[in-house]
Amino acid sequence: MKGLFTLAFKLLVNDRGKFAALIIGITFAMFLMVQLTSIFAGILQKASANIINLGARVWIMDPAVNNPLNSIPLPDTVLAAVRSIDGVAYAVPVYSGASLVKLNNGTYQPVTVIGLDDTTLVGRPQLLEGKIEDIYGENAFIVIKDQEYVKLGNPTLGTTFELNDHRGVIVGIAQVTTSGLFGMPTLYTTYGRAIQYIPTQRFTAAYILVEPKSEADIPHIKAQVAALGYLALTKEEFIHRVSNYYKFQTGVGTNILIMTVTSFLVGLSISGQTFYTFVLENLDKFGALKAIGAKNRELIYMILFQAGFTGLTGYGLGVGLSSLLINIAVRKVPGYAGTITFFNLGLALMMLLIIVCFSSYIAARKIIRVEPFEIFRG
Amino acid sequence: MAAVAIQAENLDKWFGEGEARTYAVRQVNFTVPFGQMFYIVGPSGSGKTTLLSMISGILRPNGGRVVVAGEDIWRLSPDALATFRLHTLGFVFQDYHLFPRLTTLENVAIPLILQRWEWSKAMAAAQEMLAVVGLQDRGELRPMQLSGGEQQRVAIARALVAKPTIIVFDEPTASLDGATGKMIIGFVKHDILNDHRCILIVTHDNRIFPYADQMLHMEDGAVVKLDTGGSLEK
């Protein structure tokens, strides 16, 4: 079989024009598919940034909440009720909102403000500079050093700003796992200071973060919270809910899907057409091979090998090119949302397999149908 | 080794059914022993290509049987028949059907590759066969870089490389000038044919008729005359 594959390989690569067209077509299609799905994965990850960064195992919210930006404030009675549920180790409120910061140069910059529970500071970020206890100091804020950090003028410890006519001072510089989707810098402070500085509604807690005593307690907690008329979700469920929101309730998912399908169709049509032309041009030769004694399945193996080799080469080049571009973009472009996940790679590989199978099928069908008798008839 | 190379008995082939049925070959019988050059001749549409296809195990007859090298070939399964062709028959097609993207050497080695030979061994055997047909220094060239006569010899080398006992030529001189055609057939007669081989040629080129040991004349799908050694000498 190795000899047959060598023969198939030489037939493929020696036709340099078609081979180049196939490789370029599939590489381009794979590049687009991986790029687009990676951007979507990046968007979803950034959309769930607060959930990932705060890291609570169970989140309690109003049932109408479907993404972290549109939280609906919860009454304090809910916090008290949750704390009384069996299986809850602790429950704390968290504030999440947006505001405008006036920088020392007089410009305004929108920011996301996270208010951590004053007592426990549950969900605090990992500090790079400063001490966590300084958050209790007067007007204290911790700034997150991510891609948006420069928008605050690269603040250092002691840098001051105004937030809603209140003075603010940077007492810590921290890092988080994921930065937000909308390109806004993030400031952390205490819950008490957040609701004092930023105008709020009657209720103030965006979410209640719960630590269950054990995994087994989670279903009970969820049931009890549901009985109160609210929704309790695990971290993973909340991320999934946010993903679903962006996939199905905004145009983002649909548009990315359309572009991905377009890339797939480009790859499919280039590969299918080129393979079909390749087989058509050599149809008499394949007929001659059948007359000599080649079996249909051997010719199909050859076609599958050619399609598989071309496909995997194009896949490797496409993924490599996409990874390179995403890597550069993440370093150089602020707020770039692109992350390659195994799911992206698997999805692109699955689409590639469809392209390979389709191309092989239309080529093999032609070869199976050719009658060696036709060779004698010229 | 069977003494009879090819035996055709009551071969029938028709196309279409009912009133549309048209006979391409009707009740053909002949026997070819090993060591002979057997010609099937006749005008276009006489059924000689159809007959050749049935004898070669490529086109299934509607009636009759074909025994090649002792094997009743149309009793074999399609896969077994393909394997039989690969090991027993060598084909030289009218248009040669060489792969333009492969070298001459690789084209010659194809039957060995199909027989699952190792690539390097197949190439070595193909090189030896190119030497037999006088093209030992043309192995790395592409078919398009060769003359018509050289391409013909490459096709012959490909037909011979797996050492088949029966070689089938379809209009071997159709694309060649008279001198080259005679030179090729002379080469086949004197250097390829032996007591363990049989050469089957379909042609309507009367310039190469003198090389035949037997000649089957066909017209409208039927045998009109079988020239044997004695009658050919006349």
Give the position of tokens 């069996």. Answer: A86
Q: How many domains does chain A have?
A: 2
Q: Which chain A residues touch B98 with a CB distance below 8 Å?
A: 285
B62 touches A: beta carbon within 8 Å: no
Cβ <8 Å between A292 and B85: yes
Q: Which of A285, A296, A371, A374 to mutate to test the interface with B (most CBs of B within 10 A)?
A: A285
For chain A, the helix, strand and coil percentages under 3-state DSSP, each to the nearest 5: 55, 20, 25
* Minimum distance, in Å, between the CA of residue B230 and any CA atom of chain A: 31
| Closest residue of chain A to B158, computed from CA coordinates | A292
| In chain B, beta strands by DSSP E | 4-15, 22-33, 37-41, 63-68, 71-72, 89-92, 166-170, 198-203, 214-219, 222-227
Residue where a domain terminates, one of A194, A229, A264: A229
Residue A61 inside a domain? The answer is no
Taking a C-beta distance cutoff of 8 angstroms, is the pair A130, A122 a contact? no
Q: Is residue A202 part of a domain?
A: yes
In angstroms, the CA A128 to CA B6 distance is 91
Nearest to A288 among B49, B59, B97 (CB): B97
3-state class of A15 per DSSP?
coil
User: Do residue A219 and residue A298 come from a single domain?
Assistant: no
Task: Tell me if chain A has a CB within 8 Å of the CB of B59.
Answer: yes
Taking CB atoms and an 8 Å limit, are B82 and A294 in contact across chains? yes
Query: Does the beta-carbon distance from B106 to A7 stay under 8 Å?
Result: yes
In chain B, residues with a C-beta closer than 8 Å to the C-beta of A18 are: none
CB contact under 8 A, A291 and B91: yes
pLDDT given for residue B1 in this prediction: 45
pLDDT in the model for residue A283:
81
A323 within some domain: yes
Q: In terms of domains, do A220 and A89 share one?
A: yes
Are B114 and A11 an interchain contact pair (Cβ–Cβ within 8 Å)? Answer: no
In this complex, do A377 and B49 lie within 8 Å of one another by their Cβ atoms? yes
Question: CA–CA separation, B14 vs B21, rounded Å?
Answer: 6
A261 and A336 assigned to the same domain: yes
Q: What is the pLDDT of residue A378?
A: 59
Q: Which domain holds residue A212?
A: 75-229
Specify whether A274 is located in the same domain as A208. Answer: no
Which pairing describes strands B89-92 and B166-170: parallel, antiparallel, or unpaired?
Answer: parallel
A6 in a domain, yes or no?
Answer: yes
How many CB atoms lie under 10 A from the CB of residue A350? 10
Percent of chain A beyond pLDDT 90?
Answer: 34
Inter-residue contact A355 to A310 (CB < 8 Å): no
How far is A14 from chain B, CA to nearest CA, in Å? Answer: 6
Contacts of B87 in chain A (CB under 8 A): 293
- Write out chain B residues lying below 8 Å of A288, CB-based: 91, 93, 97
Record the tokens describing residue A117, joined without a space: 């529970």
Could you say which residues of chain A have pLDDT below 70? 334-335, 376-378
Buried-exposed string A216-242: b where 16+ CB fall within 10 A, e elsewhere: ebbeebbebbeeeebbbbbbebbbebb
Question: Is residue B169 a contact partner of residue B199, using CB atoms and an 8 Å limit?
Answer: yes
What are the tens digits of pLDDT across the range A331-378? 877 667 788 889 889 988 998 888 888 888 888 888 888 888 877 665
The pLDDT value given to residue B230: 52
- The reply to whether A267 falls in a domain is yes
CB contact under 8 A, A10 and B106: yes
Looking at the structure, tell me whether residues A169 and A267 fall in a common domain: no
Size of interface A-B (CB pairs under 8 A): 85
What pLDDT was estimated at residue A220?
93
C-alpha closest to that of B5 among B222, B195, B221, B186: B195
User: Which residues in chain B are contacts of A14 at CB distance < 8 A?
Assistant: 101-102
With CA atoms as reference, the chain A residue closest to B52 would be A376
Q: Beginning with the edge strand found earlier in the chain, give each strand of the sheet holding B89-92 in spatial order.
A: B89-92, B166-170, B198-203, B37-41, B214-219, B222-227
Distances (CA, A) of B117 to A1, A164, B162: 9, 83, 10
Roughly what angle, to the nearest 10 degrees, separates helices A296-332 and A2-13?
Answer: 60
Among A195, A229, A263, residue at a domain's last position: A229
Q: Quick check: B7 contacting A, CB < 8 Å?
A: no
List the single residue in A284, A292, A373 with the smallest CB-CB distance to B110: A292
Among B56, B119, B170, beta carbon nearest to A3: B119
Boundary (domain end) residue, out of A229, A263, A289: A229
Whole-model pTM over 0.80: no
Regarding whether A215 and A132 lie in a shared domain, the answer is: yes
Could you say which residues from 177 to 206 on chain B have a Cβ atom under 8 Å away from some Cβ of chain A?
none
Residue A244 lies in a domain: no
Pairwise CB contact (< 8 Å): A7 & B118 = no
- Contacts with B170 from chain A: Cβ below 8 Å: 376
In this structure, are A176 and A287 located in the same domain?
no
What is the Cα–Cα distance from A126 to A48, expressed in whole angstroms?
18
Angle at which helices A342-369 and A251-281 cross, to 10°: 30
Indicate if A223 and A90 belong to the same structural domain: yes
CA A56 vs CA A59, A180, A211: distances in Å: 7, 17, 7
Confidence (pLDDT) at B229: 63
For residues A88 and A219, state if they share a domain. yes
Q: In chain B, what residues touch A282 (CB-CB under 8 Å)?
A: 99
- Which distant-in-sequence residues (6+ apart) come within 8 Å of B58 by Cβ? A291, A372, A373, A376, B85
Which stretches of chain B drop beneath a pLDDT of 50?
1-2, 234
What pLDDT shows up at residue A177? 77
Phi, psi of A181 (to 5 degrees): -80, -35
A148 plus A85 within the same structural domain: yes
Burial (0-12, 13-18, 19+ Cβ within 10 Å), B215: buried
* A111 and A207 part of one domain: yes
B15 interfacial to chain A (CB closer than 8 Å)? no
* In a domain? residue A292: yes
| A3 vs B contacts (CB less than 8 Å) | 112-113, 116-119, 122
Q: Give chain B's length.
A: 234
**Are A132 and A217 a contacting pair, CB within 8 Å?**
no
Q: Are residues A222 and A106 in the same domain?
A: yes
Residue A119 included in any domain: yes
Would you say A314 and A25 are in contact if contact means Cβ atoms under 8 Å apart?
Answer: yes
Q: What is the C-alpha to C-alpha distance for residues A303 and A278, in angstroms, rounded to an integer? A: 10
